[in-house]
Amino acid sequence: MGLFVFSFSEVAKMLKNVPAGDLVRKDELKSLFGGKGYNLAKIFSAKLPVPPGFIVSVKAFEDYHKSKNLSNELMDEIKKYIRELEIDTNRVFNVRNDLYDDEKERRIPLLVSVRSGSKISMPGMLDTILNLGMNDNSANRMYEITNNKKFVMGVYLRFIQMFADVVKKVPKSEFDNCKINSDDFLQEAKKYKDIYKKFVSEDFPDDPYLQIKLAIGAVFASWNSSKAVFYRKMNSISSSLGTAVNIQMMVFGNYGQNSGTGVVFSRNPIHGDKELFGEYLPNAQGEDVVAGHSTPHMISYLNDSCRKIYEELEKYSEILEAEFKDMQDIEFTIENGKLYILQTRSGKRSSQAAIKICVDLIKENKISVREAISRIELSQIEMSIYSSFSPQEVSELTPIANGLSASPGVASGVVVFNTSDAKKEFSAGKNVILVRKETSPEDIEGIQFSSGILTSCGGVTSHAAVIARGMGKCCIVGCSDIEVEEDHFNFKTPDGIRKVKSGDSISLDCCTGNIYLSELKTYFAEPSEEFKTFMSYVDSFSTVKVYANADNKKDLKKSLDFGASGVGLCRTEHMFFGEERIEVMREMILAKGNKKSEAIKKLLSFQKQDFLEMFLEAKGMPVTIRFLDPPLHEFLPKTKEAKLSVMNNLEMKPEEFDVLIESFSEFNPMMGHRGSRLLISYPEIIKMQTEAVITAALEAKERCKDIDIVPEIMIPFINHEKEIEFIVGIIRECADSIILNSEINLDYKIGTMIELPRAALVADKLATYVDFFSFGTNDLTQTTYGISRDDFSKVLKDYRKNNIYKFDPFCRIDEDGVGALIKMAIRIGKKGNKNLKIGVCGEHGGEHHSIRFFESIGVDYVSCSPYRVLSARFSSALARIERKN
């Protein structure tokens, strides 16, 4: 065993000695050998046909980055492992004429692949070199053995081009323009080497040991290429991980028609169905499939042309899936009728497929529910409900072309042909469709700014497809119907007449692969059965329930569809803004005497109806109704016409009216006459809202006898125990007398929001008056920081630039400050009332990291906007699993 280098069999032995449950050791080995090397060793130990090889570990990478050189010590180890590989394969790495003349048995040249392999897979971001070891001697030798000039030429030229590109950054296009006009591979290789020399002012290295040294250095250096750095940043992959390098005997898929190469997924990565999915390209090398230069056949082609190998592949994919307990993305090569597995890794998949695969693996007893939940990412939950076009609208259109669907969903927007235009249009607020002949990993930034990707070449396992799928982008590849002219910023439609230009609108339907020449409206789809099953598993793991912030029946319905367990915040002020109601509200605020009482009566009947609808919709789930919170001036008329209308209604004179309106103005209304302060000044509002809640609940109970309805009344902006004593007193008196006069028995709860630091500090005193606390973290953050929640974005820009805040405390809870207050308030609040229920209803209630914090401090429920309910349910379960881990 080396210090830096390890053979697959050595790593396989090390893995066998790790106890099944020792995740820490497994992780250490993955860090040392990279994901690809680790998995190759596993394939090796499962006795699958993997080309032999060895791993230059991440330790060597670290060493290289310190000294910017491959040490002699490391090179000695590499030579030792090459020698072992020569013995193992009965091939020779450095074919020399003199040695070869002496040899009795004429040995085949040993060519190797040099591939990167970091702990976390970064498809296409790091460099690879194939056919290393080629020089004139090995080329001649290969020709003697194969008698196939075309094959030898293909192998030799590809090597020179790849080496030149990866090691010396010679643009591929330099070679593309070189004419091949003979079958003399040495002569044609010389032309390539001349291009190399012209570009780098050095001879092309013929010595395989020098080739391997330079190649490994270049793969290590590719860790810091701009595309790799960007990819890591986008996927939050630590830059300190580094990469290993895997050296493996080359097998040749380009040996003839009996050879080929391909990629298979053990399950369908688009929808998750349990079927072999992939592509096969006869007489080609592996890079041809993933780079997207040519459009390969679907894997069924292999089934038709060589059933035996297809069945072998099916068997291996089952073995690998069972070994890794996850859907696998397997690269294979067939050399002269013999199948080799080149690598396997957990396959990237669409969000929809990720959920289905997890649910199926649970049912197949391959993974636990806990494991399944940990494997899913929050973004996959968010992306699981895919958009679609209206079937009606689509049925009226003829697609201009059809391609291969590489990820689900639909997208429409303006066409662009490069990353910088994608960025420009995206910044201008437009939806963007990136159209390319084929995408390369350099396009990753452009993909990020795009809603959809369309390519004329490449298959569904090309890098473009893999990346788009992982990012939840709609993607159609291999659309050979169209002709993309990137330099002229257009593509020709199949009729050859029309040109779609930069800035034109198109729509992609990734379910059918159809492309339409107009901007279609997108709609959200219904969640799948598997998704519902997965979410039921999720709920069985959560202790923090997820309620919704909903102010009307429509929002409540949406929230329940997303699986909310109740309403944690109904902001009643939102019920007063309708055209018909705002006038009445204004009268209630501004009128006196009978007019005021009449307005209150009208508002009462509106509110009762609103609450009744919500109680009926919630079917016994908790509905938390917050009494009026904002300062009253927010309801007052602002325009001339509106003012005139109210003034006439109230039969007031202009001067009198202006003075009255002016009396409501405040210097700092967010800190002013609002919430509990307002309720204390206007006890008639408390009474009206209590009556509306209680009578609506009684009526709902009467209508649905089998449902127990317990309304929850919530008081905003409390500061002082005396405030709460006063308000609770009025609510109880009013509610109890209504219930007493009713035939129906009704229980109700009263709670307070904790959204001011003083309230948190005296939480033990407040708790004695109420059944629950709900932390209004929007105001609590505003008042703890002393920063206006409405103006914070101006501050944040500079704070971000100067690295003062890591994140926006209005989005993610500040655990050290606001979080500490909440934690303390819960602790002392429970001293005041041990049965106190604890909720959070500020925006933080729907935010992933904040939910993790709330889960850890004993919050019973979070409440968030309807569209965040799904992800909050997931965050809640994950928080518990991670804490227990």
Residues known to be catalytic: 463, 841
Tell me the CB-side half-sphere exposure of residue 409, using CA atoms within 13 A. 25
The partner in contact with residue 818, picked from Mg ion, ligand PEP, none with C-beta cut-offs of 5 to 8 angstroms by kind, is none
DSSP characters over 148-199: -HHHHHHHHHHHHHHHHHHHH---HHHHHTS----S-HHHHHHHHHHHHHHH
Instruction: Tell me how far, at minimum, the Cβ of 670 lies from ligand PEP, in Å.
Output: 9
The response to whether 288 counts as a known ligand-binding position is no
Binding mask 81-120 vs ligand PEP (x if CB under 6 A, - otherwise)? ----------------------------------------
Strand partners, 861: 545, 839
Instruction: Tell me how far, at minimum, the Cβ of 484 lies from Mg ion, in Å.
Output: 53
Write the CB contacts of 296 (distance below 8 Å, at least 6 apart in sequence).
Answer: 262, 279, 280, 281, 284, 288, 289, 459
H helix or E strand, kind and range, residue 387:
strand 387-389
Asked if 841 touches ligand PEP (CB under 6 A), the answer is yes
Closest CA to 776 of 670, 633, 689: 670
Q: Which is nearer to ligand PEP, 418 or 778 (CB)?
A: 778
Asked if 779 touches ligand PEP (CB under 6 A), the answer is yes
Q: Which is nearer to Mg ion, 353 or 862 (CB)?
A: 862
User: Residue 112: helix, strand or coil by DSSP?
Assistant: strand
Q: Which of 39, 135, 328, 777 binds ligand PEP (CB under 6 A)?
A: 777
Instruction: Tell me how far, at minimum, the Cβ of 845 lies from ligand PEP, in Å.
Output: 8
The partner in contact with residue 303, picked from ligand PEP, Mg ion, none with C-beta cut-offs of 5 to 8 angstroms by kind, is none
Q: Distance between CA 10 and CA 328 in Å, rounded?
A: 23
Q: Which of 303, 418, 480, 778 binds ligand PEP (CB under 6 A)?
A: 778
Q: Which is nearer to Mg ion, 262 or 776 (CB)?
A: 776
State phi, psi for 111 to the nearest 5 degrees.
-105, 150
Q: Which stretch binds Mg ion (CB under 5 A): 221-229, 612-620, 768-776, 811-819?
A: 768-776
Q: Which stretch binds ligand PEP (CB under 6 A): 292-300, 719-727, 774-782, 801-809?
A: 774-782
Cα–Cα distances in angstroms (integers) from residue 783 to residues 498, 779, 786, 809, 818, in the given order:
60, 6, 5, 12, 9
Total residues contacting ligand PEP by CB under 6 A comes to: 10
Instruction: Tell me how far, at minimum, the Cβ of 398 lies from ligand PEP, in Å.
Output: 49
Binding mask 554-593 vs Mg ion (x if CB under 5 A, - otherwise)? ----------------------------------------
The response to whether 626 counts as a known ligand-binding position is yes
Write the CB contacts of 631 (distance below 8 Å, at least 6 apart in sequence).
Answer: 664, 666, 669, 670, 672, 673, 674, 678
Instruction: Tell me how far, at minimum, the Cβ of 642 lies from ligand PEP, in Å.
Output: 24
Q: Which stretch binds Mg ion (CB under 5 A): 4-12, 536-544, 570-578, 751-759?
A: 751-759
Instruction: Tell me how far, at minimum, the Cβ of 556 lies from Mg ion, in Å.
Output: 20
Q: Which is nearer to Mg ion, 387 or 549 (CB)?
A: 549
Closest CA to 326 of 318, 315, 337: 318
Strand partners, 117: 244
The response to whether 335 counts as a known ligand-binding position is no
Asked if 779 touches Mg ion (CB under 5 A), the answer is yes
In the block, residue with structure tokens 């989005």 = 811
Site for Mg ion in 459-478 (CB under 5 A): none
Asked if 438 touches Mg ion (CB under 5 A), the answer is no
Binding mask 700-739 vs Mg ion (x if CB under 5 A, - otherwise)? ----------------------------------------
Strand partners, 509: 410, 514
Instruction: Tell me how far, at minimum, the Cβ of 555 lies from Mg ion, in Å.
Output: 18
Asked if 755 touches Mg ion (CB under 5 A), the answer is yes
Site for ligand PEP in 623-652 (CB under 6 A): 629
Q: Which is nearer to ligand PEP, 83 or 758 (CB)?
A: 758
Q: Which is nearer to Mg ion, 670 or 820 (CB)?
A: 670
Closest CA to 687 of 732, 725, 720, 718: 732
CA angle 220, 222, 227 (to 5 degrees): 150
The two three-digit tokens of residue 344, written as one number: 């396997």
Q: Which is nearer to ligand PEP, 569 or 713 (CB)?
A: 569
Q: Which is nearer to ligand PEP, 65 or 749 (CB)?
A: 749
Asked if 875 touches ligand PEP (CB under 6 A), the answer is no
The response to whether 736 counts as a known ligand-binding position is no
Q: Distance between CA 788 and CA 219 in Å, rounded?
A: 50
Cα–Cα distances in angstroms (integers) from residue 598 to residues 573, 588, 603, 634, in the given order:
19, 8, 9, 21
The partner in contact with residue 571, picked from ligand PEP, Mg ion, none with C-beta cut-offs of 5 to 8 angstroms by kind, is ligand PEP
The response to whether 146 counts as a known ligand-binding position is no
State phi, psi for 64 to the nearest 5 degrees.
-60, -45
The two three-digit tokens of residue 599, written as one number: 């307005």
The partner in contact with residue 842, picked from Mg ion, ligand PEP, none with C-beta cut-offs of 5 to 8 angstroms by kind, is ligand PEP
Residue 670 is classified by DSSP as G
Q: Which is nearer to Mg ion, 796 or 841 (CB)?
A: 841
The two three-digit tokens of residue 117, written as one number: 């392999």
Asked if 776 touches Mg ion (CB under 5 A), the answer is yes
Residue 817 is classified by DSSP as I
Count the Cβ atoms, other than its own, within 10 Å of residue 282. Answer: 20
Q: Which stretch binds ligand PEP (CB under 6 A): 25-33, 58-66, 685-693, 776-784?
A: 776-784
Q: Which is nearer to Mg ion, 610 or 779 (CB)?
A: 779
Asked if 842 touches ligand PEP (CB under 6 A), the answer is yes
The response to whether 777 counts as a known ligand-binding position is yes
Instruction: Tell me how far, at minimum, the Cβ of 861 lies from ligand PEP, in Å.
Output: 13
Q: Which is nearer to Mg ion, 374 or 719 (CB)?
A: 719
Asked if 127 touches ligand PEP (CB under 6 A), the answer is no
Asked if 631 touches Mg ion (CB under 5 A), the answer is no
Instruction: Tell me how far, at minimum, the Cβ of 674 lies from Mg ion, in Å.
Output: 9
| CB burial readout 393-409, b (16+ within 10 A) else e | ebeeeebbbbbbbbbbb
Binding mask 824-843 vs Mg ion (x if CB under 5 A, - otherwise)? --------------------
Asked if 288 touches Mg ion (CB under 5 A), the answer is no
Instruction: Tell me how far, at minimum, the Cβ of 778 lies from ligand PEP, in Å.
Output: 3
Q: Distance between CA 101 and CA 255 in Å, rounded?
A: 26
The response to whether 393 counts as a known ligand-binding position is no
Answer whether 151's CB lies under 8 Å from 256's CB: yes
Q: Distance between CA 695 and CA 270 in Å, rounded?
A: 52
Q: Which of 571, 608, 852, 873 binds ligand PEP (CB under 6 A)?
A: 571
Instruction: Tell me how far, at minimum, the Cβ of 773 lies from ligand PEP, in Å.
Output: 12
Strands (E), 218-259: 243-249
The two three-digit tokens of residue 165, written as one number: 């590109």
Site for ligand PEP in 666-725 (CB under 6 A): none
Alpha-carbon dihedral sign for residues 339, 340, 344, 347? negative
Please give the order of strands across the beta sheet that includes 490-492: 483-485, 490-492, 499-501
Q: Distance between CA 525 and CA 509 in Å, rounded?
A: 13
Write the CB contacts of 139 (distance below 8 Å, at least 6 apart in sequence).
Answer: 152, 155, 156, 185, 186, 189
List, as residue ranges, the binding site for Mg(2+): 755, 779
List, as residue ranges, the binding site: 571, 626, 755, 776-779
Please report, as ranges, the residues that interact with ligand PEP according to CB under 6 A: 569, 571, 629, 755, 776-779, 841-842
Please report, as ranges, the residues that interact with Mg ion according to CB under 5 A: 755, 776, 779
List, as residue ranges, the binding site for substrate: 571, 626, 755, 776-779
